[in-house]
């Protein structure tokens, strides 16, 4: 069965235009930074990081603006790679459906944001990541959460599945990663995700845009809600959410 990692052109164009300011992208980037900050030694910016399935490089730009230099993006899309080169980000094409050895590796850490749900043989990809990490290297990932939220929206975005924390912990452990932290986020969007599923069943949301436009005020409010959740989750993890974040160490 073929991977569903290939995304439509409009997805990449949307990413390029929105990820600098849009609440959803910025909150994911901030979540990654929180997790990395907790588990990288002194948050050493000389460490070597790669973003797999990096799209147009929003998170790499986010890191670059914060002093990271030894970073690289990997993606299968020629359009995404063209955009990365225009942004002066080191990048290479990659086939995430097949085993790979990265010439620039091994790496201290991999980032894989919203990638695994597009890959049919997810364990094969995790094994390839494991092979290209240094001993005790880190993997940070995000995925859509909770299978009962799977809807036509997921199908439109070529998702095979959504994950629970239990499923993700088992998947990582079985592929020789030790889970350091795992939790749901975007819990405040849970009612909207349910509405989206029901609306899609009724045919009301067919063709709905992945990143719906929001007003500047709503964008600020959603960022504030997400940052409040980040703060609370340092002490108490949400019991549900529409996304899941995990960081794990190679063993």
Residue 27 near residue 223, CB atoms below 8 Å: yes
Rounded-to-integer distance, Cα 175 and Cα 124, Å: 9
In CATH, what number is assigned to the domain containing residue 213? Answer: 3.40.50.150
What is the residue-averaged pLDDT of the chain?
Answer: 89
Is 18 part of any domain? yes
Q: pTM for the whole thing?
A: 0.90
Domain that holds residue 117: 9-250
Q: What does residue 166 show for φ and ψ, rounded to 5 degrees?
A: -60, -45
Residue closest to 246 by CA, chosen among 187, 185, 183, 186:
183
Per residue in 115-161, pLDDT (tens digit) is: 999 999 999 999 999 999 999 999 999 999 999 999 888 888 889 99
Under DSSP, the state recorded for 99 is: -
Provide the domain count of the chain.
1
pLDDT of residue 132: 97
If you search the block for the tokens 């002066």, which residue do you land on? 88
Task: Report the half-sphere exposure of 106 (CA within 13 A, side-chain side).
Answer: 14
Residue closest to 100 by CA, chosen among 67, 127, 140:
127
Residue closest to 193 by CA, chosen among 243, 143, 246, 130:
243
Is 4 part of any domain? no
Is 2 part of any domain? no
Is 209 part of any domain? yes
């Amino acid at each position: 069965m073929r991977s569903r990692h290939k995304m439509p052109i409009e997805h990449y164009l949307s990413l390029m235009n929105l990820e600098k300011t849009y609440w959803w992208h910025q909150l994911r980037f901030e979540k990654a930074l929180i997790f990395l900050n907790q588990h990288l030694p002194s948050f050493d910016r000389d460490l070597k990081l790669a973003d797999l399935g990096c799209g147009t490089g929003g998170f790499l730009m986010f890191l670059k603006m914060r002093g990271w230099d030894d970073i690289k993006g990997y993606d299968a899309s020629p359009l995404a790679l063209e955009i990365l080169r225009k942004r002066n980000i080191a990048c290479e094409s990659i086939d995430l459906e097949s085993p790979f050895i990265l010439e620039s590796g091994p790496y201290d850490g991999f980032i894989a944001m919203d990638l695994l749900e597009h890959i049919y043989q997810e364990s094969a990809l995790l094994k390839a990541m494991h092979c290209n990490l240094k001993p005790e290297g880190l993997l940070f990932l995000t995925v859509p959460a909770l299978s009962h939220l799977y809807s036509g929206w997921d199908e439109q975005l070529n998702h095979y599945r959504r994950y629970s924390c239990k499923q993700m912990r088992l998947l990582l452990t079985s592929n020789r990663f030790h889970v350091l932290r795992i939790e749901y986020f975007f819990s405040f969007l849970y009612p909207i995700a349910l509405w989206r599923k029901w609306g899609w069943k009724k045919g009301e949301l067919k063709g709905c845009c992945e990143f719906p436009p929001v007003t500047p005020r709503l964008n600020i409010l959603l960022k504030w809600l997400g940052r409040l959740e980040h703060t609370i989750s340092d002490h108490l993890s949400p019991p549900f959410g529409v996304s899941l974040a995990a960081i794990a160490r190679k063993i």
